[in-house]
Amino acid sequence: RNQKRIIFLAVLSFCAALVIIYTFIYPRTASIDPSPYSASFFVITCFIGLYKYEFFDVIPMAYRQIFHNANHPIVVLDCDNTVISANSSARKIFGNSLDFQTILTLSDICQMKPGGLEEVTQNNFMEMDVSVQGETRFFRMELQPLVSRAKQLKGKVLVFRDVTDVKAEMQKMEKIATYDDLTKILNRRVFYLRASQAFDEAILEKTKFSFIMFDLDDFKNVNDIYGHLVGDSVLFEMASLFSNQLDGDAIFARYGGEEFIVFLIKKGPNEALEMAESLRSSLENHLFTFDNRKIGLTASFGVSGSEGQTNKSFERYLKESDDALYQAKHAGKNRVSIIQ
């Protein structure tokens, strides 16, 4: 407001001076000289224009300050998608590419991710990973139009939002929701999701599959004698031992307590029987060592499955493998039983 008052007084005094000089000091003829009035009108008109469009307002200055000091990298493009400006945060990402000695376009930026230009064109955003000072950071790049008051497109703005911490937290939460916290293998909920999907595909393709369910024999004694911390360590080591023996297609999960389950893709019950026997034998011959104490452990296994076409449900095969497991338990433990 003070700026506008000063400009107004300056313009007013200038106009008054023109009127006095040309009208009273330098009278030329009896007729009125139009120059002081036209000059006054011109200056007043300029002032109105400056006032109306806020030429002396601090807002543009504030915008520039926010743009250059923003933590988010910001890149300005013209209507041809050529970079014409960038703030300091953006220069940290693209480095010398934004020295404007070479032409940098939206396409060049999007090439940092395969298919990036198509993704941005369709969605007006994309996620990309960028190396910043030797560290990989994840950014969500948003493309926003720059539109004038007359609704004309004047350019575009790329805003990069650092989502590294958010992405890491989401991955952490996904891991917690996917894996058993103790054994680091799949939990029961995710086993149902993945195994049932694989089961449905096997039914459609008429391919073989199988289930292996097993339970650690007399595991309560381990907790009672050595304590729950040792028991937890035994469970973790056992899960690692079996994970290394199972192939990559096997879906291995903690079913609950000391009970575990495996879904084998494209392996029928006879192959599952061999796999279960191999797991049983490796556990029987493995010693868990804690504080110079060696702990032996065995498990009972139940197997079910199909060599191809079947009309049984996913739940039915789960129950059959559970029934086979308890057959092995009642037959003396540390053995494999199968239901076909």
Asked if the structure places residue 270 within a domain, the reply is yes
In-domain check, residue 60: no
> 242-278 pLDDT, tens per residue?
999 998 899 999 999 999 999 999 999 999 999 999 9
Q: How far is CA 138 from CA 98, 127, 156, 162, 307, in A?
A: 20, 7, 22, 6, 46
Residue 91 three-state SS: helix
pLDDT, one tens digit per residue, over 77-127 is 888 888 888 888 888 777 655 555 556 777 777 766 777 777 887 888 888
Pick from 99, 102, 126: nearest CA to 112? 126
CB contact set of 331 (below 8 Å; sequence gap of 6+): 337
Q: Looking at the domain assignment, is residue 229 inside a domain?
A: yes
Based on the residue annotation, tell me whether 277 is a catalytic residue of this protein. no
- Is 64 within a domain? no
pLDDT band at 41 (very low <50, low <70, confident <90, very high): low
> Which CATH number belongs to the domain containing residue 118 in this structure?
3.30.450.20
The verdict on residue 223 lying in a domain is yes
Provide the domain limits for residue 9: 2-52
For residues 260 and 144, membership in a common domain is answered with no
Residue whose tokens read 């493309």: 143
Q: Which of 205, 258, 274, 284 is the catalytic position?
A: 258
81 and 229 housed in the same domain: no
Pick the residue with more confidence: 55 or 281?
281
> Is the same domain home to 77 and 152?
yes
Domain boundary among 98, 133, 164: 164
Work out how many domains the chain is built from and give that number.
3
